[in-house]
Structure 1
Amino acid sequence: MFGPEGPTLRELAVQALSSVERGYDLLAPKFDRTPFRTPGSVLDAVAAALERTGPYDDGLDLCCGTGAGLDVLTRLCRGSVTGVDFSAGMLSVARARVPAAGPRVAWVRADARALPFTAAFDLVVSFGAFGHFLPRELPGLFTQVHSVLRPGGRFAFPVLAPPRPATPGYWMLLGFDAVMRVRNALWRPPFVMYYRAFRLGDVRRELERAGFRVELQPLPEFGRRRDGSPRARMVVARRPD
């Protein structure tokens, strides 16, 4: 899973025993060489799906990390593009990754639960960040996103179908979450990262409570499971006009 240029086991251990913010500051220089980075195939599929409803004017990448979502927003947005993250280390890598982006791109250090914007965006995207939020934090998070979107704006993010109980992936994720719960019960500060806590039914309900109109769009690039359900969907939450 990790190449020779990725983090060592010791580096991952130090990260896991840190806070979320400090952990990602430490991991940032090697983050793009880990399996934690959202694959390009997912980014391209989301961009292709959103192109059918665009173009947009101003876009925000929520919890942008090292800037993987930047290419999606620059393809879709005619105006400004902003990345927001609370890790200074991740933002530093993002700035270095796109040095020629110019004034059209801005990077802002802030907590997604207290965004420093007014209704300034037509599109908000996020990739692979929701495991860092506990279920009880979703109402506040989605209310924040609703507040920074202009009327008619969209909040979009991909969701992969969970693995079946009979597959190794199911037990791997179950084991990871169990280890993290034990770690957080015994060690401070906590490191919030749970793969199985972000459940689509709960997410849709909380988005609607925050005032969004929610649609689920299959991402056909990833095919369907044996029961006919999509392997991947894009959640599109629209702020009413």
Structure 2
Amino acid sequence: MFTPQGPTLRELVVQALSSVERGYDLLAPKFDHTPYRTPAAVLDSVTGTLRRLGPFDSGLDVCCGTGAGLGVLRQVCRERVTGVDFSAGMLTVGRARTPVVPDAPRTHWVRADARALPFGPVFDLAVSFGAFGHFVPRERPGLFAQVHSVLRPGGRFAFPIVAPARPGSRLYWSLLAFDTAMRVRNALWRPRFVMYYRTFRLADVREELVRAGFEVELQALEELGRRADGSPRCRLVVATRPS
């Protein structure tokens, strides 16, 4: 799962026994060498779909980490892009690794909690990749309301969501075991480390987005293939703040 440049087992254990913020501060220098970084195939597929939905002037990457999503935004936004994350370590690494490209949109890095975004309605597009497991279900309505509040009328909030693992499959049992272990860890140890894979269900998420004021559509990310029953392996959720 990990390259030689990735974290050691000891480093992962120390991270897992820390808070979410401290854990990612520790992991930041090696994060891009772990399987936790969003795969390039997903980023490329989302980029292609957003290009067809654009153009956009300004974009926000919610829980940006080291900036994989900002790479998407720089390809589909014309003026400026902003990454927001509460881990100072992730922001520092992302800022240092941002390539200098002539005529690229201005890039800003902001340390803040996504549950209290420090912006007005100034963005045309918001994205997020792989961060929703760090929010327990009761926090999602507030998170979605925050994203809604920073989008201009007609602005879009887009994020990929992978089809759920089939019950009984190896992936199903692996995710169940991970979430169970995390719940046990959080019951016995403080500070808590919130990361769950099985709490982000499409039907619930869609309903919560609508309640936050979004109009929601789904687009299949065809480049990522389809399952045996013909359903997409991955969809892009596109939530629009009505004009």
TM-score range relative to shorter protein: over 0.9
The one-letter code of the counterpart of 1:202 is: D
CA-to-aligned-CA distance 1:70-108 (integer Å, 9 cap, x gap): 221011001110000000000000001115268810000
After TM superposition, give the deviation of residue 53 of structure 1 in Å. Answer: 1.1
The one-letter code of the counterpart of 1:7 is: P
The answer to whether the Cα contact below 8 Å between 2:79 and 2:105 also exists between their aligned partners in 1 is: no
The one-letter code of the counterpart of 1:235 is: V
After TM superposition, give the deviation of residue 166 of structure 1 in Å. Answer: 2.6
CA-to-aligned-CA distance 1:144-179 (integer Å, 9 cap, x gap): 000000000000000011111232111100000000
CA distance in 2, matches of 1:125, 1:190: 26
Aligned twin of 1:188: 190
Q: Which runs of 5+ in 2 are unaligned?
A: none
Q: How does 1:108-123 map to 2 (within 5 A)?
A: 108-123=110-125
2:78 alignment partner, SS class? coil
CA distance in 2, matches of 1:99, 1:51: 21
Aligned twin of 1:226: 228
The answer to whether residue 39 in structure 2 is matched with residue 57 in structure 1 is no
CA distance in 2, matches of 1:195, 1:103: 33
1:64 alignment partner, SS class? coil
Which sits farther off after the overlay, 217-226 or 199-208?
217-226
CA distance in 1, matches of 2:5, 2:97: 17
Equivalent residue pairs, number? 241
Identity of aligned residues (%): 74
Q: Which runs of 5+ in 1 are unaligned?
A: none
Question: After TM superposition, which residue ranges in structure 1, 4 or more long, deviate above 4 angstroms?
Answer: none
The one-letter code of the counterpart of 2:21 is: E
Q: How does 1:1-241 map to 2 (within 5 A)?
A: 1-98=1-98, 100=100, 104-241=106-243
The one-letter code of the counterpart of 2:74 is: T
TM-score, scaled to structure 1:
0.98
2:45 alignment partner, SS class? helix
2:53 alignment partner, SS class? coil
CA-to-aligned-CA distance 1:2-25 (integer Å, 9 cap, x gap): 111100000000000000000000
CA distance in 2, matches of 1:186, 1:215: 40
CA-to-aligned-CA distance 1:178-200 (integer Å, 9 cap, x gap): 00000000001100000001110
CA RMSD of aligned residues (A): 1.0
